[in-house]
Amino acid sequence: MLLKVFFVVKFFIVTVNGMLDNNVCTKWDSYYFMPLSKNCYHDPDFSSNTPEIIERHLGKGTVENYTVTTEDGYILTAFRIVRKNPKGVIVLGHPLAVDGIIWVAEGNASLAFTLWRLGYEVWLTNNRGTYYSEEHVNLTVNNIKYWDFSYHELGVYDLPVFTEKISETSNSTELIYVSHSTGSTAATIYASLLPEHAKKHYKVSIMMAPPVFMKHSTGISRSLCTYIFCPLSPILRFLGIGGLFTKNSLSKALTKILVIMPSKRWFVFLDLFFSGITPGQVDPKLFNLIFSLIPRGLSLKVMYHFCQAYFSWDFLMWDYGKKENLRKYNSTKPPRYPLQKIQIPIHFITSKNDLIATSQDSDTLWNALPDVAKIYGRTDISGLNHVDFFVGKDRYSLAYDHVLDLLRKM
């Protein structure tokens, strides 16, 4: 009798602990009852690092990490998802305020895993200031000088050094670059300022939702620039704050509270307001999982550079002000990035529902590209906003399948 009671009690404890360990739900309302709802479950990826997620889904020994040092002293990490005799090598460039983990944050449906299963070797880059790239030869993330970089440096320093390491390690000079948002901005800068370097190493650059020209942006960029970053910039500089959401920061700790809050619909409302109206598109199980992994390092100067792009209606280098511009550029106005010098094919996917990387601004980008960059055309879609490229229920049918189709045709 006592033995039966023991097993019943043990079964009850294990069951309750399992329910209390739930962290993802398949329905929005279930988040209010997450510990007990049958629509909720525990996802081990929720609190895992990138190598752990990769090996959990693809097996032991499928990931390798490599460290590179940029010309200006930043120590960066890239992860290689190993594939014997690959049909090609794909480099994934991540958006703002996150690192390469975003490409494996959707479980088995992650684009990185899909590409790997199709036979490609896949590399995840992690730009300066993000979790796996917080080191520097002289500075720390607590020093405001560490954060003295915009998206310009991501294109002229980070991407080239990653490219050289990946090309050397994989023995390939026909790399394929696939990116989203800021990763696409950096790729555009890289291809325009270092066209010979890009031509030597890359076969094509596939860019999803590229915020290059931002004249017509009406989403989060306008709101953050107008009401938050520009007004707060002098105060943050005075306080010595150049970056947020670093690995051990208070700002990152505070975001963890939002993950356990039951009302996720408020976040979805903000997403729709800032990124684009696509009701019903956000997948509840992906939303909380990805929200648990980001943000992961944000340079405020990168945001300021986007603000400059928004207010200038052009794609210009960093604006230091008239006096310093004259010294740096021999002009009171910063120069435009020379898009006409790009020598590699660029294919971009833009959604009509994206309020950040708009279709109108993509037209401007397309018209500025030389003919050699247009050989694979472009793809215009509807139904996804800027964030839906990762959390949208139809991200494959509307966006990723276009990437896969282009890869098959090459």
Number of domains within the chain: 1
> Can you give the CATH number for the domain in which 191 is found?
3.40.50.1820
Query: What sign for the dihedral angle of Cα 65, 69, 75, 76?
Result: negative
pLDDT value, residue 285: 87
Over range 128-157, report the average pLDDT.
97
The verdict on residue 2 lying in a domain is: no
User: What does the pLDDT look like over 158-173, one tens digit per residue?
Assistant: 999 999 999 999 999 9
Range of the domain at 263: 65-409
pLDDT at 171: 96
pLDDT for the residue numbered 229: 73
Residue with the larger pLDDT of the pair 245 and 77: 77
- Domain assignment present for 391: yes
Report the predicted TM-score, pTM, of the whole model to 2 decimal places: 0.91
Beta strands in 82-193 (DSSP E): 88-93, 120-126, 135-136, 175-180
In order, the DSSP letters of 206-241 are EEES--S--TT--SHHHHHIIIIIHHHHHHHHHTT-
Flag whether pLDDT at 12 surpasses 70.
no
Average pLDDT, the chain: 90
pLDDT in tens, 337-385: 999 999 999 999 999 999 999 999 999 999 999 999 999 999 999 999 9
Residue 50 in domain: no
Say if residue 19's pLDDT is above 80. Answer: no
Catalytic residues: 181, 354, 386
What is the b/e burial string over 234-248, where b = at least 16 CB atoms within 10 angstroms of the residue's CB?
eeeeeeeebbbbbee
Quick check: is 20 in a domain?
no
Across the range 61-88, mean pLDDT stands at 97
Q: Whole-angstrom Cα distance, residue 177 to residue 92?
A: 6
| Structural domain contains residue 18 | no
Is 286 in a helix, a strand, or coil? helix
Q: Phi then psi for 217, rounded to 5 degrees?
A: -65, 130
pLDDT tens track for 273-309: 667 778 889 898 888 888 787 788 999 999 999 999 9
pLDDT greater than 70 at residue 6: no
Asked if residue 190 is part of any domain, the answer here is yes
Which pLDDT does position 219 carry in this prediction?
A: 65
Is 43 domain-assigned?
no
Domain contains 11: no
